[in-house]
Structure 1
């Protein structure tokens, strides 16, 4: 179990809708400090919040963050981007590379960089924000990167658990933020998502299925492929 009370938390993508809630909820739960990171960090008007410049695609920026935040006990890999198109055959090469670097390599390299620090702390935790699209390949390269991050999170968990670092993977469908503004499908309130995640961390859970979409999609993985993707039946008709 990892208590947020007294923790030093680092949140990537802190300027966004989910990231902002991770920052404020951590403080509400008693965190002593929160590093609020972004490529262009904003001011927060709270001395407990430390704005920190971080580009997760830049090794030098990651190293600078490690040096600036050696007291981190909870690392939250929240930053992510979406491609402008949904088809993996229609993405530009730049979109593919940028999504891989931001959604997969960035969180992985950040976790690797902070792992030695976390391993020295009591009640340390690493939280990776995945997606229901980790298991449902309708997001093109976004789905592919989140699937890769899910796998990497499982590997990190196996390697870090013996060192006392609790690793949590979070799956969720649409969240009511700017990233999901394009859809009218049901969306999870970001405040509710963050509450669920922090409660799961406190309870010692390894995986968070934050909404019914994630529950249903994961359950569908054990069914024949045509059950998860009924359009495959249609194409054979």
Structure 2
């Protein structure tokens, strides 16, 4: 799918990776770019159309899909991160909170926009995932589980939506330099670089984008006799 002349909807598009997606789509000549966010007050970026959206609220999601019925490319970017170890007493509550946005939110937006894309000749969906699907990071236990669930959902969604000519692309990436990761003292990828590689993959009709070298190494390690996720180091 070509981004040029497409109509793009980015969830969580007011900052970070989502805003980078919106700006790159604008640069590539998208006809219109909607950016979904909980609070549209004060958002004023030329060329971008703010849309009220809370992915944890089904009615909000349905309203956004109805208002933006010309969408041809959905970017499921909205997500939250919370820290917690697997045996912490708060893990169950933490997992529920994270899944509500990172997994169920993605399911809601996909279900609401899939008929819109079908009506508009198929289009495409990009789901923003994470390398922690394949790399154990105990302090990100709930977040990792939510992204693993989203990856599984993406894989089961892909053959189904192929029937309506909708391309489904999974973005796998490590730590990206955004507000979400500002307190992490680790190597980080530039959001603009991640987005360019992802949209290049989309335009090449690929089904996965491995947006940084570390994620590429992890993916290759899945097929080893002792898979990479068994050796976190």
Residue 72 of structure 1 and its aligned partner are, at CA, apart by 0.4
Equivalent residue number for residue 135 of structure 2: 136
In the aligned structure 1, how far is the partner of 2:125 from the partner of 2:43? 25
8 Å CA contact 1:137–1:144 kept in 2: the answer is: no
Equivalent residue number for residue 196 of structure 1: 197
Instruction: State the secondary structure of the residue aligned to 2:103.
Output: helix
TM-score, normalization by structure 1: 0.91
Residue 130 of structure 1 and its aligned partner are, at CA, apart by 0.3
Deviation readout 1:69-118 (Å, 9 max, x if unpaired): 11100000001111132x12224433211101100010112101111111
Residue pairs, 1:65-144, within 5 angstroms: 65-85=64-84, 87-90=85-88, 91-122=90-121, 124-138=123-137, 139-144=140-145
**Larger CA deviation: 114-123 vs 97-106:** 114-123
Equivalent residue number for residue 172 of structure 1: 173
Residue 12 of structure 1 and its aligned partner are, at CA, apart by 0.6
Say if 1:231 and 1:65 are closer, same or farther in 2 by CA, change over 3 A: closer
Residue 45 of structure 1 and its aligned partner are, at CA, apart by 4.0
Equivalent residue number for residue 44 of structure 2: 44
Give unpaired runs (5+ residues) of structure 2. none
User: How many residue pairs were aligned?
Assistant: 229
**Larger CA deviation: 37-46 vs 217-226:** 217-226
Equivalent residue number for residue 218 of structure 1: 219
In the aligned structure 2, how far is the partner of 1:231 from the partner of 1:77? 28
Say if 1:10 and 1:225 are closer, same or farther in 2 by CA, change over 3 A: same
In the aligned structure 2, how far is the partner of 1:231 from the partner of 1:185? 15
8 Å CA contact 2:128–2:172 kept in 1: the answer is: yes
8 Å CA contact 1:17–1:177 kept in 2: the answer is: yes
8 Å CA contact 2:11–2:36 kept in 1: the answer is: yes
Equivalent residue number for residue 7 of structure 1: 6
Deviation readout 1:40-59 (Å, 9 max, x if unpaired): 1242242x421111110111
Give unpaired runs (5+ residues) of structure 1. 233-237
**Larger CA deviation: 52-61 vs 34-43:** 34-43
Deviation readout 1:132-163 (Å, 9 max, x if unpaired): 01112312011111011001001111100121
Say if 1:150 and 1:93 are closer, same or farther in 2 by CA, change over 3 A: same
Equivalent residue number for residue 159 of structure 1: 160
8 Å CA contact 1:3–1:123 kept in 2: the answer is: no
8 Å CA contact 1:168–1:207 kept in 2: the answer is: yes
In the aligned structure 1, how far is the partner of 2:188 from the partner of 2:19? 17
Instruction: State the secondary structure of the residue aligned to 1:11.
Output: strand
8 Å CA contact 2:62–2:112 kept in 1: the answer is: yes
In the aligned structure 2, how far is the partner of 1:228 from the partner of 1:204? 28
